[in-house]
Amino acid sequence: MCGEAVSWIPGTDHAGIGTQSVVEKQLMKQHKLTRHDLGRDKFISEVWKWKELHGNKIIEQMRKMGSSLDWKNEFFTMDAPRTEAVTNAFIQFFKDGLLYRDTRIVNWCCHLETAISDIEVDYETVQGQTFLTLPGREDKVEVGVLHKLAYKVVDPVGDIEELVVATTRIETILGDCALAIHPEDPRYKTLHGKFVLHPVLNQKIPIICDPELVDPDFGTGVVKVTPGHDPNDYACGRRHNLPLTSIMDKTGTFNELCGVRKYQNKDRYVVRNEIVEDLISSGAYRGKDVNHEMRISRCSRSGDIIEPMVQPQWFLNCQEMAKTSIKNMDNRSMNITPGHHKPDWYRWLENIQDWCVSRQLWWGHRIPAYRLIFNDPEIRKVIQGSASSNELWFVAESKEKAVEQVSDFLNKHKISNQTDYSLEQDDDVLDTWFSSALLPLSALGWDRKSKSLENYPTAFIETGFDILFFWVARMAMLSTYFSGSPPFKDIYLHAMIRDSQGRKMSKSLGNVIDPLHVINGISLNELRQALHSGNLASEEIKRSESVMEKEFPDGIPACGTDALRFSLVSYTQQTRQINMDISNVTSALHFGNKLWNLCRFSFGRFDTLREYVPPISDSLAVPSITKLEEQPLVNKYILSRLADTVRKTHSAMSEYQLHQATDSIRRFVVNDLCDVYLEFSKPTLYGKSTIEEQRSATLILTTCLDTSLRLLHPFMPFVTEELWQNLIAHTNPESSTQPDSLMVTEFPAPEKFGAFYDEQVESEMQIILSLIHASRSLRQTQHVSISQELPFSVWTDQPDLLGPLRRYSSELQNFVKATSLEIVHGQEAEIPSDVAVSTISPNLKVFVPVSALKSVGSNSKVQGEIDRIKRKMAKITKEIEDLEDKINKPEYEVRVPERVKLSNSKRLAMFKEQLTSFQTNLGLLEK
């Protein structure tokens, strides 16, 4: 609409861990099978079936939401072009020395048997002893308990014969390699360089000094060091060259490295209980604290408790790429909106760690790396022994290419090509974020060979702030690395959508809102059926149904796409989270209905006044009004409001303040166009005026509708398209060159309307509107119908108000239904005493003689109003007494903060002013 060529390419990622988890649950629920029962190939086949059945739901939602996308170039991150791009990128990183294999500590999900990223970890705080249900376990697991145990000092010096440590994961003591103290802690100065005896393994382990790991003021000031199962201990172990022992296998089962045969092949939580019993028996247990607050890390996909574990993984060195992305943000090659998220960008990239890109899954891009294993032990000893990791890996597009590399390797080491060896591809797949990070390139067909791409870089990306690092920063790093320029200029981050109570949407909570349900509507019973068709456990289904019945007792009403889009955009003023309430969507629906009724009324008048209606085209025609200054106030007012609305909408959209745009348009359509202009102009539109007045009113109304529909079109495309096509039919029905769609017409530009903006006109119109509202309020409180004409007077002590009051007195008299309208200028004391007053401001008031009110009013209604005022007065009097009692207390002046005193003073003044007003009205009614 602004004349730009726009490319928005739709697509979805393969959601590796999430999709695999869903399919595994489905297999277990329907067939009682695990993926291992099926084998890799058959399991992947099942995933593809699931993808074909359910994977297009997001695309369906996007289509239904009215997204204008380049559908012919739709992508999936595991389709052939994207897979080729991923493989090429991996190979290039490896060749450049940035991608390497290492053994490090990672977030490990024992249930899924894979490393997971930080974003796939959910954190749950427990206040003390709690029993959690974990996947694959019948018994619950105890958490929130701090166990204490003692390590005997070997050859003690002085009074300290044992060191007591506390831990929430007591089973990991089998992996302890040391105890750590702070080097400056005076209590343990004599223990520097000493050893303790492990209470279970009965082996000596050293006491080390580490100021980074140990806080001497916390607990006993002694920390157990388990480098193989704690990230902080892992870092400490590297600093002190401690042995790295992983005492569990991938399922959380203890292995032979735990050092105690009785614990081998047992689950980690079974061992936890047995170790406590054994420590009690040996006298090394020192009790437990069951009120320990604890932060639990859980896998967002399986719900299992994360086990920090040392595993060989593939890592990508991101240091230089991160520096480049920081520089690009510094020089504004990229920019983030809202700006308060920018510190997160710097914090993450300035402290970046090498990225673990491998996952122990089956669904995803299988890593194009092949391990060479010599079957001859002598060659293996010589060649593999010289490798830093004792592993030889070859990275290539295919196994055939890897064989060629192996051949070159053998020739280089003067080894016969007939040597017996095997070449096995890594079973792991790449982190989904790796392929997603390449999308600014791969979605455009990048194959690593092409130097330039059409539509790269993009101008803009919009996504949730929660994945600023995990996706946006990684896109910036990888795309810049391969292309030489940032993938986008502007980064717009929206808030996270939660339920109406601010809770994270979760299937297990039953509070997930499917946009299709909001668009089409759905009954509570249908919501229940959808819940039962999923993979939730029966306990979770019961909990979800309970929440669902409270959230949506009558189901979800059909609100349509336009209302959903409009409400979501209006929500963007909430910068951290959006508390999604269906009532706000229905409010947007009502606005759509208001717009519809406005247009239908206008079309009817256009048919009657056809000779005055200007034609509509794809270019926006601004009304050419001669002698604008001589136009009625309401005409000048609505054109000024239209100009201001166009300006505000443009400004809001250019600054990504989209909620301000929707708010401006809604206010104009409802408050200005419907409530003011139509009400003032109906006599003219119904032919009760001069031809020139009818021509001007019709021209202005047509322009307002045309401009409003164009402004609204990006937010409410369907209803605006329908109404605009109808607008054309009612304005130039015989035209043979009608535009195909509102979508390709000219968007309103502020400069076209600038001449209409008049601040003085708007100010004067507000005076008139406030007087009209005050007169209606006075009628309402006195129970006088709008059909009953009354003698009104307007009082002011401001000379500058006299001009507009006298200038528009005839229009004002007509709208307040006055038999007469007198403008009174002078002191407030000059207002007669026997009148009912409606106050607009201290300088502007409307009044009517009480005798006139009584002559047209109803005695019963007046008595009802007297009773209502008395009740109000009693309530306000009580408020005044309570507030004065509080203020008059002796300690008030000393103890109460100044801001509270100021607030109380304002409230007291307000209550007293209200009481005075009610007393005046009561006196008038009782006369």
What confidence score (pLDDT) does residue 923 get?
Answer: 74
In the structure, what pLDDT confidence band is assigned to residue 574 with cuts at 50, 70 and 90? low
DSSP 471: I
Q: Determine whether 702 is exposed, middle or buried from the number of CB atoms within 10 Å of its CB (0-12, 13-18, 19+).
A: buried
Q: Determine whether 162 is exposed, middle or buried from the number of CB atoms within 10 Å of its CB (0-12, 13-18, 19+).
A: middle
In the structure, what pLDDT confidence band is assigned to residue 899 with cuts at 50, 70 and 90? confident
**pLDDT tens-digit series, residues 245-255:** 999 999 999 99
Please report which helix (H) or strand (E) contains residue 825, including its range. Answer: strand 818-825
Q: Chain centroid to CA 58: how far?
A: 17
pLDDT at 387 over 80: no
Residues of the chain with CATH 3.90.740.10: 146-289
DSSP 290: T
Q: Provide mean pLDDT across the span 441-450.
A: 83
Contact (CB, 8 A) for 235 and 104: no
Pairwise CA distance, residues 705 & 709, whole Å: 6
The reply to whether omega before 515 is within 30° of 0 (cis) is: no
Greater pLDDT, 191 or 454: 191
Q: What angle (nearest 5°) sits at the alpha carbon of residue 98, between those of residues 87 and 322? A: 105
In the structure, what pLDDT confidence band is assigned to residue 913 with cuts at 50, 70 and 90? confident
| Tokens linked to 512 | 């997930």
What confidence score (pLDDT) does residue 384 get?
Answer: 64
Q: Provide mean pLDDT across the span 709-724.
A: 96
pLDDT at 187 over 50: yes
Pairwise CA distance, residues 296 & 273, whole Å: 19
pLDDT at 541 over 50: yes
Contact (CB, 8 A) for 134 and 303: yes
Contacts of 842 (CB under 8 A, 6+ apart): none
Pairwise CA distance, residues 307 & 302, whole Å: 13
The contacts found for 916-923 with CB under 8 angstroms, 24 or more apart, are: 917/839, 918/869, 918/872, 918/873, 918/876, 919/873, 920/837, 921/781, 921/836, 921/869, 922/866, 922/869, 922/870, 922/873
Amino acid identity, residue 300?
Answer: S
What confidence score (pLDDT) does residue 376 get?
Answer: 82
Q: Provide mean pLDDT across the span 667-676.
A: 95
In the structure, what pLDDT confidence band is assigned to residue 858 with cuts at 50, 70 and 90? low
Contact (CB, 8 A) for 620 and 746: yes
User: What order of strands is seen across the sheet that includes strand 488-494?
Assistant: 335-337, 488-494, 458-464
Q: Provide mean pLDDT across the span 109-132.
A: 90
Residue 208, classed as helix, strand or coil, is strand
Residues of the chain with CATH 1.10.730.10: 610-757
DSSP 733-756: TT-S---S-GGGSPPP-HHHHGGG
Please report which helix (H) or strand (E) contains residue 837, including its range. Answer: strand 835-841
Q: How many CB atoms lie within 10 A of CB 736?
A: 5
The structural architecture, per CATH, of the domain 146-289 is Alpha-Beta Complex (3.90)
The structural architecture, per CATH, of the domain 610-757 is Orthogonal Bundle (1.10)
Give the whole-number percent of the chain exceeding pLDDT 90.
Answer: 59
**pLDDT tens-digit series, residues 56-108:** 888 999 999 999 999 999 999 999 999 999 999 999 999 999 999 999 899 99
What confidence score (pLDDT) does residue 495 get?
Answer: 85
**pLDDT tens-digit series, residues 751-797:** 999 889 999 999 999 999 999 999 998 888 778 888 888 999 999 99
pLDDT at 388 over 50: no
Q: Out of 319-323, 746-750, 918-922, which region has the weakest mean confidence (pLDDT)?
A: 918-922
DSSP 645-689: HHHHHHHHHHTT-HHHHHHHHHHIIIIIIIIIIIHHHHHHHTT-S
Q: Which residue has the tokens 């020739």?
A: 411
pLDDT at 508 over 70: no
Contacts of 597 (CB under 8 A, 6+ apart): none
Pairwise CA distance, residues 621 & 704, whole Å: 11
Distance linking the first and last C-alpha atoms of the chain: 64
pLDDT at 693 over 90: no
Greater pLDDT, 218 or 863: 218
pTM strictly above 0.85: no
pLDDT at 572 over 90: no
Residue 149, classed as helix, strand or coil, is strand
Which segment, 114-128, 271-285, 531-545, 891-905, is predicted with the most confidence on average?
271-285
Q: Out of 334-338, 383-387, 640-644, 783-787, which region has the weakest mean confidence (pLDDT)?
A: 383-387
Mean confidence (pLDDT) of the chain = 89
